[in-house]
Amino acid sequence: MASEGLNGPRVQFLANREGTVSALLNKVPNGVQNYYNEQVEAMAEALWELEVCGAAPVLPDDRVGGNAAFRLPIEGHEDAMVVSKSGKLGGVGFDVSKDACVVTGFDHKEWSSTYYSISDDVLPTSDTPMHYAALTAHSAYGWTEKPNAFLHGHALESAEAAQLHGLPISHEITTCSTPDDTKALMLLLKDYAYPAHKVFIRRGHGFVVLGKDVADALNTLRTQVLPAMESEIESTQH
């Protein structure tokens, strides 16, 4: 399945739906369900703040240029994560009962995912490959800590912004949702380890924030990303 964007399919990977989120959650312990409920509410807050502050602008097709994810500990699916849906409309709050997808696996060789959502027409965000790679990078690169949350918005995408604020930036501009796009981020993560670095810039795509949970990632957005955005706006006005 693919989600259509302004210039063609937004989701560039094969998305294999396996059922509803509620059915999946009914099979997990109460502690996991409680964690899901807590973090998905925090994700809704973070997504709204991303949009309101301009870090996730509304694109010409009226969809929001930003998304979020957090890891969900499910037995048998150690790398499962909750992601926001593809093609969220601007100006509308994130509906925790309808707009969240649980991705239980992503095959980077086949470029395909397995996921759960409320219905067949609700797909995981087009940036799922990037989310999945970043939230599992700790094992590949031997990080001392693993991130559990991910925020992304289409702001702070320029080399000037990266240089001004000392943020790592990728070298190439790539198409979203493609293997090249994820590879570009992973090259950054290889050279700039989390948690010493929590903010990364994808040239021409936007920023990425990693955190120990959604609240931590949102705090980094407020303390590092938003001040950088404000100073970038000021620099363009002079």
Segments in the chain forming alpha helices (H) = 21-25, 30-52, 128-134, 137-141, 159-165, 179-191, 214-220, 226-236
pLDDT in tens, the chain (238 residues): 434 444 446 789 999 999 999 999 999 999 999 999 999 999 999 999 999 999 999 999 999 999 999 999 999 998 999 999 999 999 999 999 999 999 999 999 999 999 999 999 999 999 999 999 999 999 999 999 999 999 999 988 777 777 778 899 988 888 888 999 899 999 999 999 999 999 999 888 899 999 999 999 999 999 999 988 886 655 555 4
Sorted by where each starts, the structural domains of the chain and their CATH numbers stand as: 4-236 (3.40.225.10)
* C-alpha Rg value of the chain to the nearest Å: 17
Its pTM stands at 0.92
- State CA 46 to chain mean position distance: 11
Instruction: Identify the CA nearest to 228 among candidates 186, 199, 205.
Output: 199
**What span, in angstroms and rounded, lies between the C-alpha atoms of 201 and 155?**
9
